[in-house]
């Protein structure tokens, strides 16, 4: 199979030895949307040994603009993204072991899977899951690569346990993007740029070229021709509960995860977010209207509608998702609207 990877082997930083290392590695891909499908395709074409990819959603028409593994046929069949990705990836490289999981990346699932993974790649637009990934990464000493994009903006950072600051540390320094493509739109080149940063870092990690791993936090805006690279070594915080001197891994605690409950006798799911704190309903109302949602409200709550989706949001972050008893779907609506 050397002919297949010959151009990659000719690259001296990988070579034959590096190609063999890549073939022995297992990557955990969290999300099979825009970033997940792009990252997965490049890694499978590169000859990764095993790829586990998890996603809870199915393919919709709006995905085809930027999610490169999927087709109109997948939309017509309403295929789960993980299943559609597996089908396509096996056609690209039948030597790679693909483990497709249709479901949510919970703390329990991630802890189990991370024990056998060499690298975790963030391809979700769910910040709660990112924080769980971060704690799992630190607890089991598995490197992970953060990535996010919205509009024409994107960012990426490689997190190496014991060496770099973790995501929890970064939150003390950088106001990370909270919007999603459902609320802020997105152009495909921004997705591809983040994928390029993530997969380049992934290859460095998989071949063990640790000196080449980028130590800076990268962000860019392709539309406004802006590119920033910030050194983050001083962001590492000794008191961090995820990676500091006395870690407790707070985001693996069930008390710090979002709670979902079906209300008795109603097609309504209540969602109670992790942690405490009040939302600014006035600011949020303006943002949601600008994103196309129909918003009504009073000093105590907002009623948010778009198509068939309706959510009532309270100041403490608690929400009622109407028209469903499906906890996973309700949580997806909540996260899509709030980012």
Alpha helices in 12-160 (DSSP H): 15-23, 34-46, 72-76, 81-92, 107-114, 127-140
Residue with tokens 């919007």: 179
List Cβ neighbours of 123 (8 Å cut-off, separation of 6 or more): 29, 30, 31, 32, 33, 34, 35, 36, 39, 147
CB 67 within 8 A of CB 31: no
The Cα 34–Cα 30 span in angstroms is 11
H/E/C letters for each residue in 265-300?
CCCEEEEECCCCCCCCHHHHHHHHHHCCCEEEECCC
DSSP assignment of 142-153, as one string? --EEEEEEEBTE
Determine the 3-state secondary structure of 39 from DSSP: helix
CB 189 within 8 A of CB 222: yes
CB 77 within 8 A of CB 123: no
Which residue numbers are catalytic? 181
């Amino acid at each position: 199979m050397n002919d297949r990877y010959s151009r990659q082997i000719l690259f001296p930083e990988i070579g034959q030895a590096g190609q063999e290392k890549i073939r022995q590695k297992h990557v955990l891909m969290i999300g099979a949307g825009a970033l997940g499908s792009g990252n997965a395709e490049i890694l499978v074409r590169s000859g990764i040994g095993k790829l586990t990819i998890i996603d809870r959603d199915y393919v919709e028409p709006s995905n085809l603009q930027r999610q490169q593994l999927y087709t109109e046929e997948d939309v017509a069949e309403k295929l789960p993204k993980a299943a559609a990705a597996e089908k396509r990836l096996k056609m690209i490289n039948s030597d790679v072991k693909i483990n497709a999981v249709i479901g949510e990346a919970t703390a329990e699932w991630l802890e189990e899977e991370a024990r056998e993974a060499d690298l975790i790649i963030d391809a979700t637009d769910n910040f709660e899951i990112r924080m769980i990934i971060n704690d799992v990464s630190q607890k089991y000493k598995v490197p992970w690569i953060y990535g996010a994009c919205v509009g024409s903006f994107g960012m990426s950072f490689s997190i190496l346990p014991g060496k770099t600051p973790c995501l929890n540390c970064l939150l003390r320094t950088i106001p990370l993007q909270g919007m999603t493509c459902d609320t802020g739109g997105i152009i495909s080149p921004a997705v591809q740029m983040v994928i390029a940063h993530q997969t380049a870092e992934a290859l460095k990690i998989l071949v063990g070229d640790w000196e080449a791993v980028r130590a800076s936090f990268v962000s860019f805006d392709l539309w406004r021709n802006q590119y920033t690279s910030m050194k983050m070594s001083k962001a590492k915080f000794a008191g961090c509960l995820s990676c500091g001197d006395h870690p407790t891994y707070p985001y693996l605690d069930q008390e710090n995860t979002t709670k979902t409950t079906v209300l008795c006798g109603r097609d309504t799911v209540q969602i109670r977010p992790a942690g405490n704190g009040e939302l600014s309903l006035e600011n949020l109302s303006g943002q949601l209207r600008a994103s196309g949602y129909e918003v009504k409200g009073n000093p105590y709550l907002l009623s948010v509608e778009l198509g068939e989706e309706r959510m009532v949001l309270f100041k403490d972050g608690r929400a009622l998702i109407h028209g469903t008893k499906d906890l996973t779907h309700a949580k997806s609506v909540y996260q899509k609207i709030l980012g």
